[in-house]
Amino acid sequence: MALIRFNKPFGVLSQFTDKLTDKLTDKLTDKLTDLRSGAVRQTLSDHVAVPGVYPAGRLDRDSEGLLLLTDDGRLQARIADPRFKLPKTYLVQVEGTATAAALEQLRRGVVLNDGPTRPALVEAIDPPALWPRDPPVRFRKTVPDCWLQITITEGRNRQVRRMTAAIGHPTLRLVRWRIGDWTLEGLAPGRWEMITAR
């Protein structure tokens, strides 16, 4: 059984092929020849050359951080399926300065368009020592920002981003740091390593 931890960079799709680019390429091969560098989006196959593994869950293209890949379907389900409530921890840079009341909203659970979220573990943190993002987050002198550490036990589409938006603090940068007992510690962006399933 293979289990891989991968530090997914910003802009990389959490899949091995880009169906959108494949469709465009089939229809517009000649026109895309000159535009290929801009038209082709990076996928997992640009970083992880291990056959037969698949991501256990997803991480949006505009998010960074820990992605686990495995060739074991049961382990994949155990990691990704919300029924198992495996905690996932994110380091989140948000616009504005989050108040104690805003953080309490996240701790109680917020109502999204697809229903209320489970309560989250949330705390304000100092800016973490992360790698520079490429491209960098837009900086505005007149708008402060702050960092939060948010742990959830669900995995809805763009959930953390929607949660911070619901309390009036849009997400600027999102890095998944931990899934269960596995962390991103010591792993540079775009790098991966085989690990042992516990």
| CATH code: domain of residue 116 | 3.30.70.1560
pLDDT confidence of 31, banded at 50, 70, 90?
Answer: very low
* Cα distances (angstroms) measured from residue 63 to each of 7, 37, 121: 11, 21, 20
Same structural domain, 93 and 174: yes
- Whether 62 is catalytic: no
pTM: 0.88
Same structural domain, 78 and 97: no
Give the pairing of strands 3-8 and 115-116.
Answer: unpaired
**pLDDT score of 57 more than 50:** yes
Same structural domain, 52 and 121: no
Phi-psi region of 85 (alpha: psi -120 to 50; beta: other; left: phi over 0): left
Residue 30 has a pLDDT of: 45
Say how far apart CA 163 and CA 37 lie, in whole Å. 34
3-state DSSP assignment of residue 160:
helix
If one counts the domains in the chain, the total is 2
Tens of pLDDT, residue by residue over 64-95, are 999 999 999 999 999 988 788 899 999 999 99
Domain CATH for 44: 3.30.70.580
Same structural domain, 4 and 78: yes
What domain range includes position 76? 1-83+182-198
Same structural domain, 105 and 123: yes
Of 46, 60, 71, 72, the active-site residue reads 60
Same structural domain, 156 and 198: no
Q: At what angle do helices 100-108 and 159-166 cross, to 10 degrees?
A: 130
